[in-house]
Amino acid sequence: MLRYDTRGDASWLTLDRPEKMNALHLDGWQELRDGLDRAAEESRVAVLTGVEDVFCAGDDIALIEEAETADDVEELTDCLYDVLFGIESLDIPVVAAVNGLAYGGGCELVAACDLAVAVPDATFALPETTIGAYPPYAVERVAETVGKKRLMELALTGDPIDADRAAEWGLVNRVVSDDKLDATVGEFVDSIATSPRRSTRLAKQHAAVGAANPGTRERIRGAFQEIRTDDECRAATKRFFER
């Protein structure tokens, strides 16, 4: 699911599940969490990207469909929480190299990263509500980046936006041609690596102060539990599999 390699001062974490558009199952989220922790120990920067022309299609929808008990929901939400909110508290900056579609949890990963560079054909969407779920990190944090009305457009309609609009809204820093994606990310890495580790870490972590209060994890668990016990939400998830 996850390829890990080191390029100079950066650890590159590549989502590698092309048959599922790099969608993350539970093991994938756990691999990503472990990979980010490893990168924080070994490198100055972590870079997150995907194989082929897809960044990440989000959660494997089977994860949501199979989360039926309270224990299932707790395991799922804790894993999502640990990765998405964990990026904010990681000791090193995380850069998203968005090489294509970023939907659902993939879009949330982009939002959680400290910096993001996208190719022109990249698209971004939060379609969770249309399939009887919801985007937990986005509703807690993304309004601070794009504004509430724009977040609501993404979260309530599920409609995608293109890379230029994502840049206009502040979801990504730059849009560059496909052949310049790695080089532009490398420029960010090189610039970050010239600064002292301590000042970089403090700048990043102080920007995230208040990111997650003690009740956030419990609130997300409760929301997922309510969704998974609601007949209309479960029916919407089932319809997704029948397409």
128 included as an active-site residue? yes
Show the tokens assigned to 193.
């690596």
**CA–CA gap between residue 169 and residue 137 (Å, rounded):** 17
**CA–CA gap between residue 122 and residue 191 (Å, rounded):** 25
Single out the residue of 97, 84, 108, 94 nearest to residue 40, CA to CA: 94
108 included as an active-site residue? yes
Q: Are strands 123-125 and 161-162 parallel, antiparallel or unpaired?
A: antiparallel
Torsions phi, psi for 123 (to 5 deg): -130, 155
**CA–CA gap between residue 202 and residue 44 (Å, rounded):** 14
Tell me which of 66, 68, 75, 108 is the catalytic residue. 108
Tell me which of 41, 74, 88, 128 is the catalytic residue. 128
Show the tokens assigned to 114.
């400290």
**CA–CA gap between residue 54 and residue 50 (Å, rounded):** 6
Q: Give me the active site residues, please.
A: 108, 128
